[in-house]
Amino acid sequence: MTVPDTGVRVEPGSFRDPGNRVFHRAGEVLRGLDERSARDWRALSASDLFRDLTAAGHLVGTEELVPTPVDVPWAAVLRHDRIPFVSHPYEWSYAMLRDAALLHLDVLRAALEAGFTTKDGSAYNVQWRGARPVFIDVGSFEALRDGEPWAGYRQFCQTLLYPLLIQAHLGLDFQPFLRARIDGVEPDQMRRLFAGTRRWRAGVPTHVHLHGAMQARHADASSSDVRAQLRAAGFSRELALATVRGLTRLVRRLDHRPGDSHWTDYQRTCAYSVPDRQAKEDFVDRAAAATAPHSALDLGANDGRYARIAARHAAYVVAVEQDPGVVDVLYRALRDEGEGRILPLVMDLADPSPGGGWRGVERAAFVDRARADLVLALALVHHLAIGRNVPLPDVLDQLAALTEPGGSLVVEFVHPDDPMARRLLANKPDGLFPDYRWDAFEALLARRGRVVARAELPSGTRTLYQVVMGG
Partner 1 sequence: MTGEGRKAAVTHLAYLDAGSGSLIVQAVVGGVAGVAVAAKLYWRRLVTRFRRQPTDQG
Q: Is 377 exposed, middle or buried (0-12, 13-18, 19+ CB in 10 A)?
A: buried
Query: Which one, 12 or 246, has the nearer CB to partner 1?
Result: 246
Applying CB under 8 A, among 238, 336, 430, 439 the residue interacting with partner 1 is 238
Contact 25, 9 (CB under 8 A): yes
Shortest distance, position 217 Cβ to partner 1, whole Å:
6
- The total of other beta-carbon atoms located within 10 Å of residue 350's CB is 14
Alpha helices in 338-469 (DSSP H): 366-369, 381-382, 392-402, 419-426, 438-448
116-118 and 132-135 beta bridge pairing: unpaired
Is 237 a binding residue for partner 1 by CB under 8 A? The answer is no
Applying CB under 8 A, among 31, 132, 211, 305 the residue interacting with partner 1 is 211
Shortest distance, position 120 Cβ to partner 1, whole Å:
6
Applying CB under 8 A, among 8, 11, 14, 17 the residue interacting with partner 1 is 17
Shortest distance, position 366 Cβ to partner 1, whole Å:
24
Is 40 a binding residue for partner 1 by CB under 8 A? The answer is no
From the list 47-55, 72-80, 237-245, 432-440, the region that binds partner 1 by CB under 8 A is: 237-245
Cα separation, 97 vs 431, whole angstroms? 44
Query: Which one, 145 or 447, has the nearer CB to partner 1?
Result: 145
Q: In what order do the strands lie in the sheet with 342-346?
A: 342-346, 316-321, 295-299, 372-377, 403-414, 462-469, 449-456
In sequence order, the β-bridge partners of residue 141 are 118
Cα separation, 378 vs 455, whole angstroms? 13
Contact 465, 438 (CB under 8 A): no
Please tell me whether the peptide bond between 67 and the residue prior to it is cis, using omega within 30 degrees of 0: yes
Query: What size, in residues, is the chain?
Result: 471
Cα separation, 160 vs 158, whole angstroms? 6
Query: Which one, 208 or 424, has the nearer CB to partner 1?
Result: 208
Applying CB under 8 A, among 61, 145, 229, 447 the residue interacting with partner 1 is 229
Is 344 a binding residue for partner 1 by CB under 8 A? The answer is no
Cα separation, 252 vs 271, whole angstroms? 36
Applying CB under 8 A, among 230, 365, 451, 453 the residue interacting with partner 1 is 230
What x/- string results for residues 391 through 430 when contact with partner 1 is judged by CB under 8 A? ----------------------------------------
What x/- string results for residues 147 through 176 when contact with partner 1 is judged by CB under 8 A? --xxxxxxx-x-------------------
Is 143 a binding residue for partner 1 by CB under 8 A? The answer is no
462-469 and 403-414 beta bridge pairing: antiparallel
Is 259 a binding residue for partner 1 by CB under 8 A? The answer is no
Alpha helices in 14-150 (DSSP H): 35-45, 48-55, 94-113
Cα separation, 33 vs 24, whole angstroms? 14
Write out the binding residues for partner 1, residues 94-133 only, by CB under 8 A. Answer: 119-120
Shortest distance, position 364 Cβ to partner 1, whole Å:
19
Is 278 a binding residue for partner 1 by CB under 8 A? The answer is no
Is 213 a binding residue for partner 1 by CB under 8 A? The answer is yes
Task: Look at residues 56, 455, 453, 105 and name the one whose alpha carbon lies nearest to residue 254.
Answer: 105
Is 83 a binding residue for partner 1 by CB under 8 A? The answer is no
Q: Which amino acid is at 198?
A: R
Cα separation, 5 vs 7, whole angstroms? 6
Applying CB under 8 A, among 11, 34, 81, 183 the residue interacting with partner 1 is 183
Is 363 a binding residue for partner 1 by CB under 8 A? The answer is no
129-141 core/surface letters (b: 16 or more CB in 10 A; e: else): bbbbbbbbbbbbb
Is 359 a binding residue for partner 1 by CB under 8 A? The answer is no
Applying CB under 8 A, among 223, 264, 278, 389 the residue interacting with partner 1 is 223
Cα separation, 281 vs 332, whole angstroms? 23
From the list 56-64, 184-192, 306-314, 319-327, the region that binds partner 1 by CB under 8 A is: 184-192
Shortest distance, position 343 Cβ to partner 1, whole Å:
27
Query: Which one, 238 or 430, has the nearer CB to partner 1?
Result: 238
Binding site for partner 1 (CB under 8 A): 16-17, 119-120, 149-155, 157, 183, 186-188, 191-192, 195-196, 199, 206-207, 209-211, 213-223, 225-227, 229-230, 232-235, 238-240, 242-243, 246-247
